[in-house]
Amino acid sequence: MKYCSNCAAELHIAIPEGDNLPRHICRQCDTIHYQNPKIIAGCLPVYEDKVLLCRRAIEPRLGFWTLPAGFMENNESTEQAALRETREEANAEVRILSLFTLTSIVHVNQVQLIYLAQMDKPEYSISSESLEVALFSENEIPWDDLAFHTIKNALTHYFEDRKQGVFPLHQFELHGTQYTRP
């Protein structure tokens, strides 16, 4: 960030009074520009014994498979964002059952929330963001072609939990490729 979005003056980096982290500060209008993590919300849609995946038509990770998820917009809840992303990427309607994974992706300043969701009908299609959309059983998942570590993590936990019939919230911190539990 180089210029103030309030007055267009050049910014400098300093620690504001009463704070403990460097921030972008405008000397002209005294605005402090905070940079906070972005929130990613999505669904792990389930129909019978299969999960719905999308093959990405956009970067990053063009051509790789993922769960329908994306950045949250202003004026929506995390559940609304997850439902919107599922409609945008897979043209699928789902019912959210519960929050399933919460991952702090520390190295890129993101927080990802994946909701377990039920598909009542196997109705879905490609979109401008997806080259393919398909339902996969556990042994059909393209494990080596998944777009992100967090997606592989969510799917792995889903199939493990399904054996027990219990789907607790899984919370993680991801530092590069290393997971820890907070």
What CATH number is attached to the domain comprising 31? 2.20.70.10
Strands in 23-26's sheet, in edge-to-edge order, are 11-14, 23-26, 32-33
Reading the block at residue 159, the tokens are: 């199939």
What CATH number is attached to the domain comprising 125? 3.90.79.10
Q: Does 73 share its domain with 143?
A: yes
Q: Report pLDDT for 83.
A: 98
Q: Does 31 share its domain with 45?
A: no
Lowest-confidence region among 50-54, 171-175, 178-182: 178-182
Residue 182 has pLDDT above 80, yes or no: no
Range of the domain at 17: 1-35
84-96 pLDDT tens trace: 999 999 999 999 9
The structural domain count of the chain equals: 2
- How far separated are the first and last CA of the chain, in Å rounded? 31
29-71 pLDDT tens trace: 999 999 999 999 999 999 999 999 999 999 999 999 999 999 9
Which residue shows structure tokens 């059909």?
A: 140
